[in-house]
Amino acid sequence: MIGRALPRVLVVGSLATVGAVGSAGVALAGTPDTWTKETPMPMLEVLGIYAGIPIGLFALITLLVLTPSLIRGSRVQPGVSWSGQPEWFGDRPDAEQSAEADRTEQSTGGPEGTTGTGRGGAGGQW
């Protein structure tokens, strides 16, 4: 069995090697002399294609991303001092009930929590 298979493998292997070398020879061959010679592309055109088009696409995409926020134009800029009146949304402090509510808070507050009142949350600066 092995005696018949070995020559077959050798034949196939040698054929493959010849094919590979042959095709490499074709790939390495230069442009035939009979072909008309193209003049080299001007540097400006090369830069236009390989640099101009990507940069243009970057600019277009950036513009498309920024346009909605530019149109919306949030007037409040963080860092600008807030000279207007404080704004409340949702429930706001009630002067009459605050004292009673605070006492309730103190009484229901468990031992857990950093401030001793059981309040939680998080905070930070930007």
Partner 1 sequence: MASGDTLSARERADIERAVRIAEQLSGLSFSVYVGPAEAPARAYAEGLHAELVAPARSVLVMVDPGQRQLEIVTGTEARRFLHDTDCQLVVLAMRSAFADGDLVGGLVSGVQQLGDHARHPRTVHTDEP
Residue 70 interacting with partner 1 (CB under 8 A) = no
* Cβ atoms of 106 and 117 closer than 8 Å: yes
**From 1-9, 29-37, 46-54, 94-102, span contacting partner 1 (CB under 8 A):** 94-102
Among residues 83, 111, 82, which one has the least CA distance to residue 119? 111
**From 11-19, 25-33, 59-67, 110-118, span contacting partner 1 (CB under 8 A):** 110-118
Among residues 115, 118, 91, 121, which one has the least CA distance to residue 107? 118
Given 3, 30, 42, 73, the residue binding partner 1 (CB under 8 A): 73
Residue 78 interacting with partner 1 (CB under 8 A) = yes
- Distances in Å between the Cα of 81 and the Cα atoms of 14, 21, 64, 125 are 82, 76, 31, 15
The binding site for partner 1 (CB under 8 A) comprises 69, 73-95, 97-98, 101-102, 104-105, 108-110, 113, 115, 117-126
